[in-house]
Amino acid sequence: VQESYIVAVNAEGLWIVDQHAAHERVLFNRHLRLRIERKVEAQRLLMPIVVELKPDQQVVLQTIVEELAANGFEVEPFGQRTVAVKTAPAEVAAENVEKLMVEILDMLGEERQALSLEVLRNRIAASISCHAAIKVNMPLEKSKMDWLLQELSKADCPMTCPHGRPTVLR
């Protein structure tokens, strides 16, 4: 419990906060705001990450490449079935970039025809936020817990993460 949840008490009772889901919500709101302002921070990768794509993933990539760029990804063709990811969102660790890219392409593959731009943006932001968020069994200092609770209280939908998981139990 101590390394995955924040346990707090106030006049309303006992609160159990899922630190991963809460951080995911905070990062999601931040990422969407930066995306709208066209200020998403990207990191240039020391070595491009080469990702092998299935044919359906290649089709999805071609249709969302501009939105990926607006979210911090720079992706270029690198052979017949591979792409080189040269930049990624700054908050995502380099070792998670390939998994994140494949997750986004697979998630959008089946329903790309029916997605509005807003839904597309939200799904990409949710995936990025999930990969960048504090993980389970990651101990936090009290100052980080205080910051997270304060930022969560400002969120537009503080009770769930972008995927619908509860952030707080009272």
**Of the candidates 37, 40, 22, 44, which has an alpha carbon nearest to the alpha carbon of residue 94?**
44
Paired with 8 in beta bridges are 15
What pLDDT, on a 0 to 100 scale, did the predictor assign at position 111?
65
What pLDDT, on a 0 to 100 scale, did the predictor assign at position 117?
82
What pLDDT, on a 0 to 100 scale, did the predictor assign at position 110?
67
Comparing 118 with 87, the larger pLDDT belongs to: 87
Helices (H), the chain: 19-36, 55-70, 97-109, 117-132, 142-154
3-state secondary structure of 105: helix
Per-residue model confidence as pLDDT tens digits over 103-136: 999 988 766 566 788 888 999 999 999 999 999 9
Average pLDDT, the chain: 92
What pLDDT, on a 0 to 100 scale, did the predictor assign at position 18?
96
Query: Above pLDDT 70, what percent of the chain?
Result: 97
What pLDDT, on a 0 to 100 scale, did the predictor assign at position 163?
93
Residue 155 has pLDDT above 70, yes or no: yes
Instruction: Kindly state the average pLDDT of the residues 96-108.
Output: 92
Give me 18's structure tokens.
């899922």
Per-residue model confidence as pLDDT tens digits over 19-40: 999 999 999 999 999 999 999 9
Give me 108's structure tokens.
């959008």
Q: Compute the distance between CA of residue 25 and CA of residue 3 in angstroms, rounded to an integer.
A: 18
Residue 57 has pLDDT above 90, yes or no: yes
Pairing of strands 5-10, 13-18: antiparallel
Instruction: Kindly state the average pLDDT of the residues 55-76.
Output: 93
Contact 79, 73 (CB under 8 A): no
What pLDDT, on a 0 to 100 scale, did the predictor assign at position 116?
80
**Of the candidates 19, 161, 118, 23, which has an alpha carbon nearest to the alpha carbon of residue 8?**
19
What's the pTM? 0.88
Instruction: Kindly state the average pLDDT of the residues 11-20.
Output: 93
